[in-house]
Structure 1
Amino acid sequence: MKKHLLATIIGSSLLLSLSANAADYAIDTQGAHASIQFSVSHLGYSFVVGRFNEFSGNFSFDQAKIADAKVNVKINTTSVDSNHAERDKHLRGADFLNTDKFPEASFVSTSIVDNGNNQFVINGDFTFNGVTKPLSIDAKAIGEGKDPWGGYRAGFTGKTTFAMKDYGVKMDLGPASANVVLDLVVEGIKQ
């Protein structure tokens, strides 16, 4: 009886310990506390900037075990918004996002490298325009803690650049416009 009770107490303590250390978060898109923005040079004279209004995802994060972190994000590419209706229609077309064929882009992490000072590199597979290739995101942990509603949150920023031609984008506006810069702001609610 004592062995069974001791095993139950140890098992319960271990389970509570694992639960307390669990760090699974849902990205807070409901409260608009996350964003995926892009910029592309316009012929080398200016920039087209915009965002994707609809995306979802989750991540696992523990400051003490950054290498164990995981990220999974899905982007509704039809939600592209560059604040110009005609341009957005063109962006959704076959020249760029090809949203009729590929209405979703995704990023799934494969490894995280801790660079110290709350900075790290998230390596993963980025699927865009039907093409999947490795992509690295330079990220920074902004902070984490309790919120006023009894939850727990963690926030990050990230930045990455990729060449459109690497993902089969047909439109070629010259070398100055070859790359897309993604700026990410992510706030997650612990589940």
Structure 2
Amino acid sequence: MKKPIALVLAMLLLGATAQAAEYQIDTKGAHAFVQFRIKHLGYSWLYGRFDDFNGSFFYDDKKPEASSVNVNIDVTSLNSNHAERDKHLRGADFLNTAKFPTATFKSTSFEPLENGKARLNGELTLHGITKPITIQVTNIGGGKDPWGGYRQGFSGTTEFELKDFGIDYNLGPASQTVEMILDIEGIRI
């Protein structure tokens, strides 16, 4: 009689820890995006993205405050759907990708809020400068996929001043703040 109880307890304990896991960001399946937008002269929005990046995150839905994220972005993969503009944005006036080809984000804390919302705090290194940023996060959901894996998805937004990262090309006062839109789906490792 003790064996079935021990087996049930073991299964419950395994089930409780099964939700705490590390996830690889699914960039190969095109289920993750690092996008940006900034006002162009204050008259319209310029949208772009970084096509090459990788990373992972740890998430425990029972203890979300223990979550963490690490992301590496190949800044040379900037794509605003216009080759000449991309060349300018990669150049010395803006990102200077010849000198600073990589940007990184490493989380320092995850603060759960209500209704699947959270604040993800961390250190962004861009253009050779590291500064703290906060990303407003929404948990999109998680569960089994059709291939026998388990996935978890989040969406986030943040904004920062270009000058905070040493980018001081003047496109006017309405074009000083960049907004980042981050959508990631991770596959449990």
State whether TM-score is above 0.5: yes
1:123 aligns with 2:113: no
- The runs of 4+ residues in structure 1 deviating greater than 4 Å are 12-19
Distance 1:84 1:57 in 2: 27
Q: 1:36 matched to which residue of 2?
A: 34
2-structure distance, mates of 1:149, 1:35: 22
Shift of the alpha carbon at 1:101? 0.6
For 1:1-191, what aligned pairs fall within 5 Å after superposition? 16=14, 20-191=18-189
Letter in 2 for 1:36: V
* Compared CA separation, residues 118 and 60, structure 1 to 2 (3 A): same
C-alpha displacement of 1:63: 1.3
Q: Which ranges of structure 2 fall in alignment gaps of 5 or more residues?
A: 1-6
Gaps of 5+ in 1: 1-8
Give 1:13 shift. Answer: 7.8
Displacement of 1:14 in angstroms is 10
Contact 2:70 2:106 in 1 (8 A): yes
Aligned length: 181
Whether the aligned pair in 2 keeps the contact of 1:94 and 1:170 (CA below 8 Å) is no
Q: What displacement does 1:20 show?
A: 2.4
Q: Give the TM-score taking structure 1 as reference length.
A: 0.90
TM-score by length of 2: 0.91
Q: CA deviation at 1:62?
A: 1.1
| Change over 3 Å in CA distance of 1:40–1:79 after alignment to 2 | same
State the identity %: 55
2:159 counterpart letter in structure 1:
T
